[in-house]
Structure 1
């Protein structure tokens, strides 16, 4: 299987300088591309001089993660795409275990264990050891529940079917990516991989986490986790995911409960003296209502009525029952 590692870049020369050498060194099985999202720094000239073996795709505008990858991947012919954040350090032999799992024709996407670059014996927030959602669509991972990050003790070393793979490091089959329609560009960034993987689920395709492969993710390379813009995107896009993919019979009840819980999250931010994040939630809901009809039209007839969630409420388990790790949910 011909493989492309595609790194999306936007004004990230420093990250490329720090992390791209590991990708070049440890990815002999793949052709490496950097898709530049109309950077205004000297990223492209730096790449041309320092990494002539890396192929450059130049997008005309910064359309965020979703549009950037859609445009970059549209012109590639490899069978397998690896979408890799620019702030990820890969390790020797990281690709073969992922490619071995993709030999299973039922698998659309896989991810490695994603560990914390700053604290390498712990999982990282964005994907950890594979993602799930609860009945209300809240995402969480093996190794990461909300802000609690587990130490990697080998507890998730086995290959395991999951609901979603992290966009920080996702290997996806080209034919499945294209058949599903790629990323939804209205998301701009954040949770578009959950939306894509839910579409894979509704297409009867599988997503796996591969414990024999590991990478280290810095996180917050383009948008810090405490930035209100990130809060806005996460809350709005989470509602988009439900509206597009949830079973029809449960859809509006799910959204009603999410509105209540998002309101409680806004109150929590006020008590934490983070009013800008409360404002971001209000803005997220306003934008969701404005785009409600548009996103509703994106539903198709593939929504499965079968159980899509791992637990009924991760919010209840985490905040009220005190279960802080995946195995205790």
Structure 2
């Protein structure tokens, strides 16, 4: 197992570790992104060479680059293009294929990011195999987000709400993948993680979006192959950064550890719900100094979610803690743990 820092990440460290992980596993991340992208690109070719999309685009360019005012020929060309029943059937097939393919890419890249902390090299085939096990719920939650945010963004008044919800739901997919959360629970889980971190999440998203947009814009100028190459090169950057931020918020809020992430990953690989087991040597340190041993009822007995010592109910399923299922009592510990913190190296993987 390689030595790697494991959260929480501030902006500088998140940015640096994203590219560090990306370049350390460059060919394997590219392989994950390329597998489905190449297939989707091949599936898009019939639109140009069988259904006349290229001719239609050329017709549109004529009107964009000339002073021709008679648009009747263009309207007729559009009618002829969309009147093709074979085109409609193939278009519906392609939409489904695109949703599945691009979702597989994102889910497999998230799995590969987690693999980095446990394996000398990430395995693209394992990443795709595990991604497939939760892909349909992952697609469904992303469709729901797209429909809700898209519907709100249609109106000027709805745009701020769409942005607010889009950021608040950014980890819905990760909750499905890493925690096997059901649809409603995944939305609640993402909202809980983003709570008090909304502006931070927006800023991180804008930064990574700007970087990938610049790269994509430059590469897309290459004729024919520019767009798929841009997708292959930049999608891993976005997913790695987003996944590290997801891990970071769990470290900050819940004392999330590599031991628990390994449980998440193993359960994902096996198609099961994560079940956290006690690790006698692991101590969790929250961002604000809350500490507890994983042996001492650090997880909800109902859903397996991690807990903080000062909570009296499960943040995921709402189960109250009773006397036999409570976090350890830290009342006898001094409030100032600075001396102890100075000797703590932080949550590193050794």
Structure 2 length normalisation: TM-score?
0.25
Question: Comparing both structures, which one devotes a greater share of its residues to strand?
Answer: 1
Question: Comparing both structures, which one devotes a greater share of its residues to helix?
Answer: 2
Structure 1 length normalisation: TM-score?
0.26
